[in-house]
A and B are shown apart, each in its own frame.
Chain A
Amino acid sequence: MAQKMTYTQALNLSIKEEMERDDRIVLFGEDIGKPGGAFQVTKGLWEQFGSDRVLDTPISETGFFGMAIGAALTGLRPVVEILYMDFCAVAMDQLINQANKLTYMSGGQFPVPVVFRGQQGAGRGNGAQHSQSFESLFCNMPGIQVVLPSSPNDAYGLFKTAVRNNKPVIFLEHKLLYGIRDEVEVGREPIPFGQANIVRSGEDVTIVAVSRMVQFAKEAAEKLAQQGISCEIIDPRTLVPFDLETVAKSVQKTGRLIVVEESHRWGSIGASIIHEVVEQAFNYLDSPPKLIGTENVPIPYSKPLEDAAIPSPEKIEQAVLSMV
């Protein structure tokens, strides 16, 4: 049953349905109880499921990330809300040394079924410590899956996979996607990880984009279509695992590749994607692949500076025009 709703409402509904289905799912986070979360993703859940299950935590990211991991090792399936993804930096040990490594270090003795979710990204003038995109960093931590829904339907369907799955997940929402409204197939099957979504089919150039960058790519593709240039937009949806096959196939067809990412471009996952495609499909490439990422500066506050730092539909359009 398709229903129009916002990205926030889609997440909220998905969490609620999953909690109704499985009472081992518990939520930890700051202000997620009665206040319903700073971005209202957990609205109404405290009332429905109670304060033991929707745990309003102190501002102790190390403490409650670690607590979620310990709970995951002993039968629960915690979902942790990170108020701004930037704040996970104070608790990075629990992500980079614990959640992702305990299964392997133990010789596979237990799963760590925990989901760390929250919003990230620039574009709203939140300043350098509330705007960064961290997907590249998380992709460099083996043992954790990295998920970035770009639409309400994906948010709904990917969250279900995240929470039903036995592996730790970083679930990266975008603060400027929360308000978008679109159709959600309520009651749909979970969306599997590692399965890219071909958002738009095209012939001339392949644009790989995640999260909010999918919106930008769509805008650029519209304009380019008017100029007779046809773009194929691929949203991998999960960066770990990554659907290289779909991307490589597309590049074999178009002969051109652009990767758009909001994380900083030096040392990025976009660069790794390009590298893999070059290794696999070099002979199909008609021009050097392009990477559009955030400039290597802390995200500035002032609008013209912030705009200059991050990707935009115009930058994507220019890049395509320079290739075809």
Chain B
Amino acid sequence: MDKERLIEAYTVMRTIRRFEETLNDLYAENFIRGSIHLSIGQEAVAAGVGLAMAPQDKLTTTYRGHGHVIARKTPIRFLMAEMLGRETGINKGRGGSMHFTDVSRGVLGANAIVAAGIPHAVGAAYSAKYLKEDFVTVTIFGDGATNQGAFHEALNLAAVYQLPVLFVCENNLYSEMTPIEEIVPVDNMAERAEAYRIPSFIVDGYDVEEVYGAVKKSIEDIRSGKGPVFLEMKTYRLVGHMYGDQEIYRSREEVESWKVRDPLSTTADKLAAMGVDINGINASVERDIEDAVSFAKESAWPDPSRLYEGVYFGE
């Protein structure tokens, strides 16, 4: 990554971090309903993937997908308004935290059913191949999702039809509150892709430059017609699975051992050494967050008389 790219990556990561920390606060103040799943610690994957994708590329993601959508550059005002259930939200308040969708930026949707979006990505890739369009579809999911039938069926389909899709597994070591090593017979999720003869690579998900490089190269290969690729991002969430998680399943020491490699601080250090004004970036991110929060709070609620609007497209 050149300096400009790295600044962009840091800005995206910082935006995701501050967006999600703010969600935590707003949740505590009852501005947000339901459950929220934060990706704090995993921002390097989001930023690396988002920056490596071309504008025409498509994405499906999960309930832990705030960051992935922010990295696609959906204005955070609309995401914050969605979190607060407002009509100005990206999904008009019909979706919520787990369902950010932004078709105009190729985000086909975040899914709250583990692994359900993976076959959707394979279908989008089928469209690209059939319609001879040059978009690549990226699908992001967790380590736990690799235990779902939908995952295996989707990988097999992508391999059999050689479709232009990139599988990105965020291995954060836990499937909800269960250590992944206790519930899979493999050491790496990438081994599962090998069974389908999909080229697979292991990436340090705490290094935004490595993520960016691996995704960029994979997307280029896929776009040139080489078929699907699988990337396993070794990563870690520095917060609980969801708001209120007591985290009894892991030790403080384990969390600390990852925290020292927090991709935000390592990237900030790197940029500072290049003479970049980190405080300036942070201040500008802070202004964006404040703007998003006031935009959301000032936005109107959806009108209950329009409850049925959008059950079907255009109706």
Contact = CB atoms under 8 A, between A and B. Distances in A.
B312 A143 contact: yes
B94 A106 contact: yes
Given A66-B150, A103-B313, A26 B124 contact: no
Contacts of A93: 113, 116, 150
Contact of A62 (B60, B126, B153): B153
Contacts of A105: 91, 94-95, 99, 101, 109
B108 A166 contact: no
B216 interface: no
A107 B314 contact: no
B311 A143 contact: yes
Interface string B88-107: 01111111000101110000
A70 B91 contact: no
Contact of A106 (B95, B131, B161): B95
Interface in B155-212: 156-157, 160-161
A123 to B, nearest CB: 31
Interface in A104-134: 104-112
A107 B119 contact: no
B120 A66 contact: yes
A113 B99 CA distance: 20
Contact of B157 (A67, A69, A103, A142): A67
Contacts of A94: 116, 119
B75 interface: no
B90 A107 contact: yes
B99 to A, nearest CB: 5
A76 interface: yes
B95 A66 contact: no
A176 interface: no
Contacts of B89: 107
B118 interface: yes
A112 B314 CA distance: 11
A106 B111 CA distance: 11
A264 B150 CA distance: 29
Contacts of A64: 119, 153, 157
A64 B129 CA distance: 16
A104 B116 contact: no
B44 interface: no
A70 B99 contact: no
Interface in B55-77: 58, 60
A76 B157 contact: no
B103 A66 contact: no
B314 A106 contact: no
Contacts of B124: 70-71, 73-74
A98 interface: yes
A142 B310 CA distance: 11
Interface in A215-244: none
A72 B123 contact: yes
Contacts of B127: 70-71, 74-76
